[in-house]
Amino acid sequence: MSTFKEMGLKSEILSAIEELGYVNPTKIQELALPKILESKQDLIAFAQTGTGKTAAFSLPVLNQIDTSKKGIKCIVLSPTRELGLQIAADIKSYSKNIPGFKVVAVYGGADISRQIKDIERGCDVVVGTPGRTLDLIKRNRLKLDSVEFLVLDEADEMLSMGFAEDLDAILANTPADKQTLLFSATMPPDMVKLSKKYMNNPAEITAGSKQEANTNVTHVYYKINSRDRYPALKRAVDVAPDIYGIIFCRTRAETKEVAERLAEDGYNTDALHGDLSQAQRDYVMNRFRNRQLQLLVATDVAARGLDVNELTHVINYKLPDEDAVYVHRSGRTGRAGNEGLSLTLLTGNEEKRLRYLEKKIGRKFEKVDIPNGQEICEKQLFNMIDTIKETEIANSHIDSFLPQIFEKFEDMSKEEVITKIVSTEFNRFLEYYRDAPDLNKTSDRRERERNRDRDSRRDDDRGNRRDRGDIGDRRERKEHKTAANMTRYFINQGKKDGFNPKILMGMINSHMEGKSPEIGQIEIMKMFSFFEMEKGYTEDLQRAAKNMEHEGRPVSIEESSPKPSGGGRDRGDRRDRDRGDRGGRERSSRSGEGREHRGGGGRPSGGSHGAKRRRRY
């Protein structure tokens, strides 16, 4: 392996990175530095988070910047404020021995006038989020006509966050002869379009495959019954006493509920989601970085930009919809040469999805048993004993109390003292897990029951088909049976929302935990939809709908009139359609207000956006 000294970097840069302990480059640095130092060709670089990407583009760019020239020489764009600040801090460290060099970070949620003043005082590199960068360009306060290097870091993340138009506008304000450097973990279709539009015959380097997960991460899963999801999560945490990790949830409501339940059960945790202000977000993230929190429960969007190298675990409370999101989640552990574990809680009907994901990311998932009470108690007990044993004894205020302490224990043996200390500290775990059920058997039993019920229904259907006469009789009886056993519902999502039967089924399966209602006919309209569900589940469905979101918009589900035979429309059907049309018009009229304020058949006033806590053990 080559060293940084052999790569032709200036002495000012070498001395700075030597002080930081840099000797040998990482794989992405070894590939990127020569390309950027020796050529002005545009570059697309694929590497996971935590592999040294910041140094991979910063060091060769800094090596070529002439501080005697006026104007901004390099603009670095990152998806979040936190990542931008981290990049700016790293660049400052790398350049501290370069005379007159300045770097400025610009981002939303901070005083723009101060950022303008920092730019006007003169700087060589600007690190910015797309929104604030574009704002400064429009105000004519950020001029990029002298830019020689443009860096897009975590480009796939910026596109998935909806910054495509902002990136278009920013890139249009940069010189055509600049060198564009694009760093990403994956290559989604939007990024292909961006590279074709703004990059000129780019070279491509890859430290791992474009969609491949981090090799330092072990990927495992628990096979669970859906209603055991939270108890299984607790066991995953309890069996790892030194866990320091992120629990990823799919919605804000779910994030709040899981974090609140963990806090109520005594875990050192907090939530990170889109409802937090910037000040609240910074407070939570700083506590987590400083290890004042052991667990962070977060949505994917909220966790972007959180840069922590020592995470031991990433727990997927539920699988994300996109493969690239799983790559980013799991890539947050196993960084900087450390080993990490990515654990997914998976129901039986999600295993097919896992097999597909394995092929996409090039990693195998190992099924591991959900730990039982005895395993957890053993882990916790010996961890506590090791902690006591390894505690350093130093001169302290306790010394003056030792004679009295020894006197209190003088009539007890060493064994009795140890037993009492361990019991005092450990009784809570022993009590909680004393009669704990085996969740693996629960999951297997419920899957057998589901399979048996499915086979039984299939046999009944075959017998019914044999008993029936002609096709007309069969159709008539089927329609009658459906009408008698199904309830019809209206939902405020349609084709314009990108809604489809697969999404509907996924919502129902993931939010109606422990329930397996039969789904009948599904009709997807332009602005809304109808679907049928087995009778007796209306209350469960409407309770679950309080936690449902689609594309950031609350989901509303209401009971509808049965569909008339012969395909005609009754008053109830027309009323539901009118309601959907009104919602569509309202949504269209508010389209400029942003996703958080859309109308269109949303949750009625007085409805709660937070999930009600249900204690399940």
Backbone region of residue 459 per phi and psi (left: phi > 0; alpha: psi in -120 to 50; beta: other values): alpha
Return the domain boundaries, the chain: 4-206, 217-372, 474-597
Picking from 380, 135, 340, 348, the residue whose alpha carbon sits closest to that of residue 237 is 380
Decide: helix, strand or coil at residue 210: coil
Task: Give the CATH fold of the 4-206 domain.
Answer: Rossmann fold (3.40.50)
- What is the per-residue pLDDT across 544-571, written as a single tens digit (0 to 9) for each? 888 888 877 788 898 887 765 544 444 4
Q: Summarize pLDDT for 165-184 with one digit per residue, the tens.
A: 899 899 989 999 999 999 98
| Predicted pLDDT of residue 570 | 43
Give the whole-angstrom CA distance, residue 329 versus residue 351: 19
* CATH architecture of the domain with residue range 474-597: 2-Layer Sandwich (3.30)
Query: How many percent of the chain have pLDDT more than 70?
Result: 81
User: Between residues 207 and 555, which one has the greater pLDDT?
Assistant: 555
Cβ–Cβ under 8 Å, residues 349 and 509: yes
Mean pLDDT of 46-69: 89
Q: Pick from 160, 226, 171, 223: which is nearest to 42 by CA?
A: 171
Higher pLDDT, 73 or 597: 73
Instruction: Note whether 4-206 and 474-597 share their fold.
Output: no
Which of 19-28, 152-161, 222-231 is most confident? 222-231
DSSP 519-568: EEEEEE-SS-EEEEEETT-HHHHHHHHTT-EETTEE--EEE-PPPPGGG-
Q: Where residue 211 falls among pLDDT bands split at 50, 70, 90? A: low
Q: Using one digit for the tens of pLDDT, what is the confidence trace for 573-612? A: 544 444 444 444 344 333 333 333 323 333 333 333 333 3
Contact indicator for 97, 15 with CB cutoff of 8 Å: yes
Q: What are phi and psi of 587, to 5 degrees?
A: -60, -45
The Cα-based distances of 74 to 45, 141, 282, 338 in angstroms read 18, 16, 27, 32
- Nearest-5° angle of CA 89, CA 95, CA 99? 130
Banded pLDDT at 152 (limits 50, 70, 90): very high
Read off the pLDDT band of 395 (50, 70, 90). Answer: low
Task: Judge whether residue 320 has pLDDT over 90.
Answer: no
Of 475 and 454, the one with more pLDDT: 454
Tell me: the pLDDT tens digits for 108-130? Answer: 878 999 999 999 999 999 999 99
pLDDT value at 473 more than 50: no
CATH architecture of 217-372: 3-Layer(aba) Sandwich (3.40)
Judged against a pLDDT cut of 70, whether residue 65 lies above it is answered with yes
Residue located via tokens 């794989």: 27
Beta strands per DSSP E along 362-482: 366-367
- pTM score: 0.56
